[in-house]
Structure 1
Amino acid sequence: MARLRLGPLLRYVDGARATVWVEADRPCTAEVRCADGTRGTARTFQVAGHHYALVPVEGLRPGTDTAYEVALDDRPVWPLPDSPFPASTIRTPGGDGTDGGDGGDGGDTAALRVTFGSCRWAAPPAKTSHLHDLGHRGDKGAGRDTGKEHDPVGPDALDTLAARIAADPAAPRPDVLLLLGDQVYADEVSQATRRWLAARRDLSEPPGDQVADYEEYTHLYYESWLDPEVRWLLSTVPSCMIFDDHDVIDDWNTSASWLAEMRATPWWRERILSGLMSYWVYQHLGNLPPEELARDEVYAAVRATPDGTDALRAHAATADADPTTARWSYRRDFGRVRLLMVDTRAARVLDEDKRAMLDPGEAAWLREQALEGGCDHLLIGTSLPWLLPHLIHDAEGWNAALCRGERGARWARFGEDLRRRADLEHWAAFPTSFDALAALIADAGSVADAPATVCVLSGDVHHAYVAEPTWPGGGGPDARVLQLTCSPVHNSIPASIRVGFRFGWSRVGRALGRRFARHGRLPRAAVNWRRTGGPWFGNHLMTLTLRGRSAELRLDRARAEKGGGERLETVERTTLTP
């Protein structure tokens, strides 16, 4: 009898189709049964002893909200028995790309709500109310410890979002959830996971208390996605995901010398291959529209054999050896809202003389998608912020110049050490790529039928803010351009770093940054910018509400209440366009 091990996750949704991801404990046929009679089935595929299915559901009606259940080998397994949550549903947009409703925010035009954030450290195992229903707690680490553990980083914003939606299912909710990196922390595990690792192997051997192989990666996803509130939330709100460094390891692909050192260690190859394999299974597959899945040669190869491990491992090995052979970036269209989710980790060019955030093929793909036109709003999802506090931007450009040898070999060695210690690896650390993105945004915002907004959505830096660029000489786009940064969903930032970020935005910080720029002989950046919101600290989610050519931004913070419990509190709400 097959059992549901993880999921369901509602991933792709359009007006007539959806995909639902599940993991079972053995080979079986997974079926999604909708209340309107629509059904979809898929046979599981196997990777490293685990069994997964991405179930396509077709024939849905636009502008509807239909409950669904999941069955394995014809036996219902979702919703869980005695679940306190409302039924999981598939909400399809209307035929015009809207949500099919009245907007829900007081307007008379339907809206698209895009909620995003990044950096979610797995919550301590305090909530175990439904894990017994899995029937296999402890098997391969699927269950979470029953011991209660203090949460050192405060309420989880995804938990509080789930509670808000569950309390009033008819109220406005996100139409899509964008998770912009660090969905799991392979190098910073919880105490419960550390105990599980110690029972499995000797932690005195590298990589110590970090994950080492595919099996250990699966444990991270179990710990993160079996959280009852998050599990239900991901079953009923469609999601798009992209990795960042902690999904593999801190500072992943910081520089050529970093990569050479990692490849010389005896444990790195298994770590990177397992990281890419697990990302492909748990995150990447669900990002793709059904027509792209149908053309995906790796997906076909994995499903064509009783055990797809070798096929997927070969793909990961090829992608690691030559990043141009795999594209993790993708495009999603939500009516007249276009999302371009950009890989800023695996697609890097690390040669100091040719250093770039995106390899030429990736950059060409991004440019083609952005300049196509025909959208009211263009969203560029990149885990790493494009516009940073001015001091940090100039320090990263200065550091890149040092590492490139602008001040000689001694300064280059100092620069490489500083780059790793201070995580100086955002768009500003790739000056040519920074300017190229500025030029692309200017072009995309100036084409015929240009969008009303171009928003760069980012995370990573463990605080939230809004920044707005201007182009010297008035050569900027017609669209309003904004950097929207929201991080973390569930993590923390030391008080000293908070002070540093605030200082980085200040006039004094900006003046100090210009001194760094002069020492590094840096040309002026292609754009100027100013902070127009924040910085805000805490566990947050940002929501863009897009209605026609208008846009509104809301920032919600997860707060613990004095009498117990947690809630989302709106700390900022602003109109971006009329």
Structure 2
Amino acid sequence: MTAQLLIGPVLRRVVGDRATIWVETSAPARVRIEAGGGAAGSAATFCAYGHHYALVVVSGLAPHAAHAYRVYLDEEQVWPAAGSPYPPSVIRTRAADDADQPVSLLFGSCRRGTPQATGRHLPPDALDAYARRLMAEPEHRPDLLVLLGDQVYADETSHKVRRFLRRSRPAGQDGPADQVITFEEYTKLYLESWRDPEVRWLFSTVPSVMIFDDHELIDDWNTSASWRADMARQAWWSERIAGGLGSYWVYQHLGNLSPDELAADPLFRKVSEARDATDLLREFGRRVDQPEQAENTDRPYRWSFALDLGRTRLVVLDNRCNRVLTPGARAMLPPAEWEWFLDQAHGEYDHLVVGSSLPWLMPPAIHHLEAWNERVAESRRPRWAAFGEKLRRAFDLEHWAAFTRSFTALGELFRRLGEGGVAAPGHRVGAGGAYAAPASISVLSGDVHHSYVARADFGHAMATPVMQLTCSPIHNEVPLPLRPLMRVSWLPPVARVARGLARSAGVAKPAIRWKRLSGPYFGNAIGTLTLDGTTASARIEGTTGDGRLHEVAAADYRPVSRRGAGSSTAPDPVR
């Protein structure tokens, strides 16, 4: 049987003179990629659950150039397809010494793969719109696409996927009839989403990294310990978690690794060498979904990852799988992973960018409500604690604010980095050999189905601006009744009422304040963060009815004055 290209090529990491490209094929094959000038790479597909994949490392790429490439399966060219209307797919490398080269990061989250995924008419897809513009303006190609969660929706499937589930499942099978459960069913989600023609072309020519949020598994995944206990009692959950994490590793996480990290990864080596990796991935998916493993061992499986682009460091955090859920000790990251993050946050760079699927800085009223709820859910009075837990799960109160220790620790880290000095080594060495503060700190987030820019105020003059950039959804929508709630939750009088509620439960006042600079915007959108020398700027673009992009939020980073972040000259509109 002649192999065909089902999904891909998906360009993932470009590191120096090497790049990784991911593909899914219809049958076993040798995948070969040629990029001109002698640059090439090949790999045999590996098999899992009857599906075939390859991650090819292309070596020998010339620096500071755009390399058009071709994909072959067993010597037959399959990409670009004959008669393709799209521009050539290219691998663009950075200069050999790229310290002074600007960095452009494209980011967003929450993308349904079909226009009518649940019978609702959604606004135009922002990734589609961006791809069409990039075809016309290739000189504006970003360095990296950062996808921040909900790349697929396992629990909110399209009509097409539901028809497949009805046809393929045995009668009487346990589990939600309209949600995917098995690895095989997960493959239909990726096939539906990643074969969108414009998005497929975009993935083939812009490097990408990805992190999950909850919908890759199920809404409110790992909200609390009691949530996990309830899910464990569902007969179908074990297969769901194995299929969900196994497929995420194959389709998303594997491409986050650099060529050197791939070579050192023991699971990738085992999977590549196995005749059939189904059992390996099933066991892996079940094993890594263990909060006690993350909390009590020194080396839980780390989904978080980090990379450098020029003088910019990007650290993308797992906000879901490895949470510590023990009441009284809740944390976004287990101790070993937090220590890893601290190591990554200190180093030689100008700009620190943290990818977090969940926003660190929420609308203030919602922040105080979540902090209050955490304290109530941990009450010593059983009925009061049960009430708090019920609210936590009913209203999705499980962002950074609902993990108060982690919220505070992240702010304290940013404060120390932003103040610079020997005690908080950052980055550029200043006068007298002391470490200088970074030029900027940015937190990229999604999840909340609206977009905004906010700036942290640490209560004193600090040269480093610390910004929250939230861009969501790429292709979804927030229900109309919730939009006024999101707007008023930014208003100071409403925030004071919520703060009073939190104070009544004994919640300490946050050590920082924050101000919205742009937003909230409720349409489909994509964000761009541009870092050039010691300057930084952010822009969020929404889609018009005819599928074009227009600016809806923006911020130029500037040093904080004596009065703090509130003195920023950036606009404060409500859109």
TM-score w.r.t. length of structure 2: 0.91
Query: Of 336, 355, 359, which aligns to 2:330?
Result: 355
Confirm or deny that 1:187 pairs with 2:155.
yes
User: 3-state DSSP class of the match of 1:570?
Assistant: strand
Count, aligned residues = 537
Letter of the aligned partner of 1:114 in structure 2? L
Partner of residue 404, structure 2 = 431
User: 3-state DSSP class of the match of 2:544?
Assistant: strand
Native 8 Å contact 2:369 2:498 kept in 1: yes
Confirm or deny that 1:270 pairs with 2:235.
no
Change (3 A) 1:377 1:512: same
Kindly state the Cα deviation for residue 335 of structure 1 after the two structures are TM-superposed: 1.1
Letter of the aligned partner of 2:44 in structure 1? R
The separation in 2 between residues aligned to 1:76 and 1:266, in whole angstroms, is 45
Change (3 A) 1:150 1:162: farther
Partner of residue 416, structure 2 = 443
The separation in 1 between residues aligned to 2:520 and 2:197, in whole angstroms, is 31
Letter of the aligned partner of 1:365 in structure 2? W
Letter of the aligned partner of 2:416 in structure 1? D
Native 8 Å contact 1:375 1:449 kept in 2: no
Q: Give the 5 Å matches for 1:376-395.
A: 376-395=350-369
The separation in 1 between residues aligned to 2:437 and 2:362, in whole angstroms, is 26
Partner of residue 37, structure 1 = 38
Native 8 Å contact 1:197 1:203 kept in 2: no
The separation in 2 between residues aligned to 1:151 and 1:568, in whole angstroms, is 21
Letter of the aligned partner of 2:335 in structure 1? P
TM-score w.r.t. length of structure 1: 0.90
User: 3-state DSSP class of the match of 1:380?
Assistant: strand
Confirm or deny that 1:455 pairs with 2:429.
no
User: 3-state DSSP class of the match of 1:462?
Assistant: coil
Kindly state the Cα deviation for residue 356 of structure 1 after the two structures are TM-superposed: 0.8
User: 3-state DSSP class of the match of 1:331?
Assistant: strand
Kindly state the Cα deviation for residue 325 of structure 1 after the two structures are TM-superposed: 2.5
The separation in 2 between residues aligned to 1:368 and 1:574, in whole angstroms, is 29
Partner of residue 548, structure 2 = 567
Partner of residue 567, structure 2 = none
Kindly state the Cα deviation for residue 272 of structure 1 after the two structures are TM-superposed: 0.5
Query: Of 107, 112, 116, which aligns to 1:116?
Result: 107
Confirm or deny that 1:471 pairs with 2:444.
no
Change (3 A) 1:315 1:206: closer
Letter of the aligned partner of 1:332 in structure 2? L
Partner of residue 146, structure 1 = none
Query: Of 174, 182, 205, which aligns to 1:236?
Result: 205
Partner of residue 467, structure 2 = 482
Confirm or deny that 1:491 pairs with 2:476.
yes
User: 3-state DSSP class of the match of 1:387?
Assistant: coil
Letter of the aligned partner of 1:467 in structure 2? A
Kindly state the Cα deviation for residue 375 of structure 1 after the two structures are TM-superposed: 0.7
* Further displaced range: 197-206 or 218-227: 197-206
The separation in 1 between residues aligned to 2:188 and 2:366, in whole angstroms, is 35
Query: Of 341, 345, 355, which aligns to 2:320?
Result: 345
Letter of the aligned partner of 1:32 in structure 2? I
Confirm or deny that 1:422 pairs with 2:422.
no
Letter of the aligned partner of 1:77 in structure 2? V
The separation in 2 between residues aligned to 1:73 and 1:577, in whole angstroms, is 54
Query: Structure 2: which 5+ runs fail to align?
Result: 426-434, 560-575
Native 8 Å contact 1:156 1:490 kept in 2: yes
Residue-by-residue CA offset, 1:210-262 (whole Å, 9 max, x unaligned): 00100000000000000001100000000010000001000000000000110
Kindly state the Cα deviation for residue 204 of structure 1 after the two structures are TM-superposed: 8.0
Partner of residue 565, structure 2 = none
The separation in 1 between residues aligned to 2:255 and 2:541, in whole angstroms, is 26
User: 3-state DSSP class of the match of 2:69?
Assistant: strand
Partner of residue 502, structure 2 = 517
Native 8 Å contact 1:123 1:151 kept in 2: no
The separation in 1 between residues aligned to 2:152 and 2:542, in whole angstroms, is 21
Partner of residue 62, structure 1 = 63
Kindly state the Cα deviation for residue 528 of structure 1 after the two structures are TM-superposed: 1.2
Query: Of 494, 498, 517, which aligns to 1:532?
Result: 517
The separation in 1 between residues aligned to 2:16 and 2:158, in whole angstroms, is 40
Query: Of 286, 296, 305, which aligns to 1:317?
Result: 286
Moved over 4 A (4+): 202-205
The separation in 2 between residues aligned to 1:168 and 1:37, in whole angstroms, is 28
Native 8 Å contact 1:467 1:484 kept in 2: yes
Change (3 A) 1:293 1:415: same
Partner of residue 340, structure 2 = 365
Letter of the aligned partner of 2:521 in structure 1? W
Residue-by-residue CA offset, 1:87-116 (whole Å, 9 max, x unaligned): 000011112326xxxxxxxxxx74211010
Kindly state the Cα deviation for residue 320 of structure 1 after the two structures are TM-superposed: 1.4
The separation in 2 between residues aligned to 1:57 and 1:420, in whole angstroms, is 46
Confirm or deny that 1:336 pairs with 2:311.
yes
Native 8 Å contact 2:174 2:235 kept in 1: no
Confirm or deny that 1:576 pairs with 2:539.
no
The separation in 1 between residues aligned to 2:116 and 2:172, in whole angstroms, is 21
The separation in 1 between residues aligned to 2:346 and 2:4, in whole angstroms, is 46
Native 8 Å contact 1:203 1:209 kept in 2: no
User: 3-state DSSP class of the match of 2:97?
Assistant: coil
User: 3-state DSSP class of the match of 1:505?
Assistant: coil
The separation in 1 between residues aligned to 2:174 and 2:235, in whole angstroms, is 11
What percentage of residue pairs aligned between the two structures are identical? 49
Change (3 A) 1:449 1:510: same
Kindly state the Cα deviation for residue 35 of structure 1 after the two structures are TM-superposed: 2.9
The separation in 1 between residues aligned to 2:116 and 2:375, in whole angstroms, is 45
Query: Of 141, 152, 164, which aligns to 2:121?
Result: 152
Residue-by-residue CA offset, 1:5-43 (whole Å, 9 max, x unaligned): 111100001231100000111111101111333111011
Q: Give the 5 Å matches for 1:545-564.
A: 545-561=530-546
Letter of the aligned partner of 2:469 in structure 1? L
The separation in 2 between residues aligned to 1:423 and 1:16, in whole angstroms, is 44
Query: Of 177, 180, 186, which aligns to 1:208?
Result: 177
Native 8 Å contact 1:240 1:287 kept in 2: yes
Partner of residue 572, structure 2 = none
Change (3 A) 1:240 1:575: same
User: 3-state DSSP class of the match of 2:54?
Assistant: strand
